[in-house]
Amino acid sequence: AHQCPPNTITFNTLLDCLCKNEEVDLALQMLYQMTKRNCSPDVYTYNTVIYGLSKENRVGDAFWFFHQMKKTLHPDYVTLCTLLPGVVKDGQIEDAFKITEEFVHRVRNQADSRFWEDLVEGILSEAELGNSISFVERLLSDGVCRNDLVMVPLIKVLCK
């Protein structure tokens, strides 16, 4: 019999299943086993864990994993759209703004209308309206994004 040791893809599949089935603590144990076996977590690994933690309203833990991720990897569009709604919901507008600003600065013009639409819709669906509006106002007043990129999705969500 041939042995096929688990790799990052194998672990990511298991982590995804566990997080989607609200078994986040078990997923965290699996993540520990992953690193113990010298399997490096990738962006997908972190996004999966951040998603699971965010769904359980464990924003502090999700935020911690976000910072761990930044030590070796670049958060992507999915990372922000997964993490930020919970951060804004938790009232951490300044942190959410800094993360967004840093991301937009790094990716330059790659933060397209789809990114802003997903981000604004995610924040509005999770956070209370006051915090959501504060976040959007800050993005606009500091020139992080153009009006049309956040106002259209904002109006769409508010009209639902």
pLDDT band at residue 3 using 50, 70 and 90 as cut-offs: confident
Cα torsion 94, 99, 105, 107 to 10°: value is -150
Per-residue model confidence (pLDDT) at position 89: 86
Q: Is the pLDDT of residue 125 over 90?
A: no
Homologous superfamily, domain 1-73? Tetratricopeptide repeat domain (1.25.40.10)
- Which tokens is 18 given? 């566990």
pLDDT, tens digit (0-9, with 9 covering 90-100), for 11-46? 999 999 999 999 999 999 999 999 999 999 999 999
Per-residue model confidence (pLDDT) at position 122: 84
Which residues make Cβ contacts (< 8 Å) with residue 78, sequence separation at least 6? Answer: 43, 47
Per-residue model confidence (pLDDT) at position 43: 97
pLDDT band at residue 56 using 50, 70 and 90 as cut-offs: very high
Supply the DSSP string of 25-94, one letter for each residue: HHHHHHHHHHHHTTPPP-HHHHHHHHHHHHHTT-HHHHHHHHHHHHHHS---HHHHHHHHHHHHHTT-HH
pLDDT, tens digit (0-9, with 9 covering 90-100), for 70-116? 999 999 989 999 999 988 888 888 898 889 888 888 886 667 778 88
Return the domain boundaries, the chain: 1-73, 75-160
Q: Which residue carries 């113990």 as its tokens?
A: 36
Helix (H, G, I), strand (E, B) or coil at 109: helix
| CB 93 within 8 Å of CB 123 | no
